[in-house]
Amino acid sequence: MIKDSLIKALSDQINAEYYSAYLYLTMSACADRAGYRGIANWLFVQAKEEMAHGVHICQHLLERGAAPSFSEVKAPPASYKSIKEIFEKVLAHEQYVSEKINKIASLAMREDDHATYNFIMWYVNEQVEEESNADDLVAKLTNIGDNSGLLYNLDAQLAARQFIDPFAAAGTAN
């Protein structure tokens, strides 16, 4: 039986994942409107990953016999000064998500819920990758500076990113 404290924490995380999806969809639209379709694609794929995370966490709660609770997803900021600012915000947001995930892992340990601890460790490891990717892009954008040719080159590279459902192989595809 999963304890109420973990049901609440995981339900809150579902909401945070959906907010992340909204945030990245908004950023994607901003990049697209600025003419950076590759960057828009990268952010759109990121949004799809966040939606998959929300569904995956919901499925975990249902498999444990719990009813997830859902709350309103607040609207993210609608505009950004630059592509670099977008990725600085991505990095800051991923760091925030890491803190939330780590708190859930700590709570699962305190509640002696090994199943939830094992489950949430996938997200702990995923956040290392998420922060690293965002940090790498911020560093590249810092090095690019005002060089529009290099920015368009990065845009072309990011256009190649494709969504791969991380849970499809586990039989929990959404």
Query: 116 is written with which tokens?
Result: 């939830």
**pLDDT value at position 174?**
46
Instruction: Indicate the fold that domain 4-158 takes in CATH.
Output: Ferritin (1.20.1260)
Classify 77 as helix, strand or coil: coil
**Angle at 53 (CA atoms; ends 4, 114), nearest 5 degrees:** 45
User: Which of 154, 107, 102, 108 shows the shortest CA–CA distance to 128?
Assistant: 102
Residue type, 2: I
pLDDT tens track of the chain, all 174 residues?
899 999 999 999 999 999 999 999 999 999 999 999 999 999 999 999 999 999 999 999 999 999 999 999 999 999 999 999 999 999 999 999 999 999 999 999 999 999 999 999 999 999 999 999 999 999 999 999 999 999 999 999 999 999 999 898 665 544
The pLDDT assigned to 83 comes to 97
Q: What pTM value is reported for the model?
A: 0.93
pLDDT at residue number 94: 98
Question: What token pair was written down for 145?
Answer: 């500076």
Q: What CA–CA distance (Å, rounded) separates 52 from 42?
A: 16
pLDDT at 168: 84
Q: Where are the domains of the chain?
A: 4-158
